[in-house]
Amino acid sequence: MKPYEFRKHAHELVDWMADYMENVENYPVKSLIQPGEIFDKIPDQPPSHPESFSALMKDFKEIIIPGITHWQNPNFFAYFPANTSPPSVLAEMLISALGTQCMIWETSPAAAELEEKMMIWLRDMIKLPGNFEGVIQDSASTATLAAILTAREKKTGFSVNLNGADQAGTLRVYCSEQTHSSVEKAVKISGIGKKNLVKIAVREDFSMDPEMLRNKILSDKEAGLVPCCVVATIGTTGTTAIDPLRAIGEVCHENDIFLHIDAAMAGTALILPEFQWMLDGREYIDSFVFNPHKWMFTNFDCTAYFVKDAGALIKTFEILPEYLKTRTRGKVNDYRDWGVPLGRRFRALKLWSVIRTYGTEGLREKVRYHIQIASDLKKMISEESDFEILAPVVISVVCFRYRPHGYSEDQINALNEKLNHQLNDTGKLYLSHTVLNGRYTLRMVTAQTNVTLQHVERAWNLIRTMARKLKA
C-alpha cells in the first residue's frame, strides 16, 4: 500500500470511526453470534494475491462487526469497563504509525521519558507517596505477577532467580476470598504454588478481615512457613469492596511482608479528594497497580504499576545480553527491566493525550458523575420491595437481585440467572453477575465513558419490567 493509498483509506477509516462513536449506542451491546459463526465465514486459506482494502472493510462491516460486543456503548454495564475516548484513539493511531519498539531508552528516548513523566503525573494525581516510581504494563495481571516475583526475590535474597524454585515452596501469599483470580495465576507462575495462596475470610462488606490475616500469618510462622506477600484490593471485582489498608499494612510491617495493592478499577477514583480515604495507610505499600484502561478513558492496554523500591523490581527482572548494552545504561530508565516483556508499546502517548485533553478537573468531573449515578441507581432499586441491594455501593458498582415474595432461595437464584440472560439477549444493555453468600447477584457498573443517568434509568426500567414478567 503506497502512502497516497494509505491517506485515502485512512480518511475513510476515520470517517467510519467517527460515525461509529456517534452511533455506537444503536448497536446491540452484546454480540448475539453463536459459537463458530464468524470462524466459518472466514476462508480456510489466506489469499494468494493482493486484495483491496475496500474488500477488507466490507468484510469488517459484514462479518466482524456482528461478532463485536460494544464495550463503548453507554449501555454496557458488565464486568468492569474497558473505556476508550477520542483522544486515546487518536494517540493510538499515532502510536501505530510510529511503530516504535520501546524496550530501552535508546530505542525511543521520548517514549521512555514521556512514560517516566506520565507515571509522575499519575502518581501525584492519585496521591501515592512521592518516592514511588512507575512503569506502564500491559495489564494488572502482569503487574501483580511482577509484584509477587519481586516479593519472592526480596524474601529469598534473590536466590530463586538464581537457583530455581525449590525454596519458593515454603513461601506464603495472602489475599481475601474476593481477590481477583490474577493473584492465583501469579502465585502459580511464580513457583510459590497455589497451595501456598491463603484466602482470608471477608467481613460483612466483603473486605478482608485484618485480624484473620494476622492470625493466619502467625500460625503459618509457627508451622515453619514463610509469609512473603499480601495482596490487598482497593475495589474488588465482585462488589468493589475496599480492603482496610492501614490495618493490613500494620500486619505486613510487623511481619516484614511485601504489600501489593490491586486497585485495577477503583484506583481511578483516587483522583477524587473525597476517595482518598481508600489510601489511608499508603506508607505501608510496596507496590500498587491500577488500570487507566478500565476507568480512565485510555484504551486497552494501559496499566500503571508503581513501586516503592524500583531497585528490587529491576533486580528481579534485569537481563543484559550483549546486543542490549548501551552507553546510557544507569543514567536512564530502560523499561525492559521493569517487567516481563522485552518489547514494549509506546503507551505513554495515550495517557498524555487523555490527561491533556480532559485535564485533571475534566477527569474528576466524569468519574464523580459515574459515582453519582451509581448512587442514584442504588436509590431506585432500594425503593422497590421486590428487589434488594446485596453489597455496599462504594463507587460505581451496584450489586442487586430480584427477590419476589413466595420463592425459595434456589428459585430466586434461577430467576436472576434467567433474567440476566434474557436482558443481555435483548442487545439493549449488558450486565454481568457474581455470587455473594450463595446468592446469584446482578452487577451493574455505571462507569462507561459516555454513560448518563438516562441510560441508567432506561436500563433499570427494562430490568424491572422483564423481571416481573419472569416465572420460575
Ligand X SMILES: Cc1ncc(COP(=O)(O)O)c(C=O)c1O
Q: Shortest Cβ distance from residue 108 to ligand X (Å)?
A: 24
Are the beta carbons of 102 and 345 closer than 8 angstroms? yes
Among 150, 178, 182, 434, binds ligand X (CB under 6 A): 182
Q: Which candidate, 154, 141, 226, 216, places its Cα nearest to that of 186?
A: 141
Mark the segment that binds ligand X (CB under 6 A) among 64-72, 139-147, 155-163, 194-202: 139-147
Residue 59 to residue 244: CA distance in whole angstroms: 51
What are the grid coordinates assigned to 267, written together?
Answer: 484506583
Which one of residues 29, 118, 264, 419 is an interface residue with ligand X (CB under 6 A)?
Answer: 264
Nearer to ligand X, 76 or 80 (CB): 80
> Rule CB under 6 A: is residue 80 a binding residue for ligand X?
yes
Buried residues in 129-143 as b, exposed as e (16+ CB within 10 A): eeebbbbbbbbbbbb
Residue selected from 85, 88, 141, 190 as contacting ligand X according to rule CB under 6 A: 141
Residue with cell 468484510: 59
Applying CB under 6 A, which of residues 150, 176, 237, 416 lies at the interface with ligand X?
237
The distance from CA 388 to its chain's CA centroid, rounded to whole angstroms, is 27
**Binding residue for ligand X (CB under 6 A) from 139, 190, 299, 434?**
139
Helices (H), ranges, 36-174: 37-41, 53-59, 86-98, 109-126, 140-155, 159-163
Q: Does residue 303 belong to the site contacting ligand X (CB under 6 A)?
A: yes
> Is residue 115 near ligand X by the rule CB under 6 A?
no
Q: Which stretch binds ligand X (CB under 6 A): 59-67, 259-267, 307-315, 375-383?
A: 259-267
The yes or no reply on residue 228 touching ligand X (CB under 6 A) is no
140, β-bridge pairs: none
Residues 140, 171, 390, 447: which binds ligand X (CB under 6 A)? 140
CA dist 140 and 133 (Å) reads 16
φ and ψ at 243, to 5 degrees?
-65, 145
Amino acid in position 137: Q
Q: If binding is defined by CB under 6 A, does position 440 make contact with ligand X?
A: no
Residue 399 contacts ligand X per CB under 6 A: no
**Rounded-to-integer distance, Cα 190 and Cα 179, Å:** 18
- 89-97, 160-168, 201-209, 231-239 -> range binding ligand X (CB under 6 A): 231-239
The residue from 73, 291, 316, 434 that contacts ligand X (CB under 6 A) is: 291
Q: Of 180 and 308, which has the nearer Cβ to ligand X?
A: 180
Contact set with ligand X (CB under 6 A): 80, 139-141, 180, 182, 233, 236-237, 262, 264-265, 291, 303
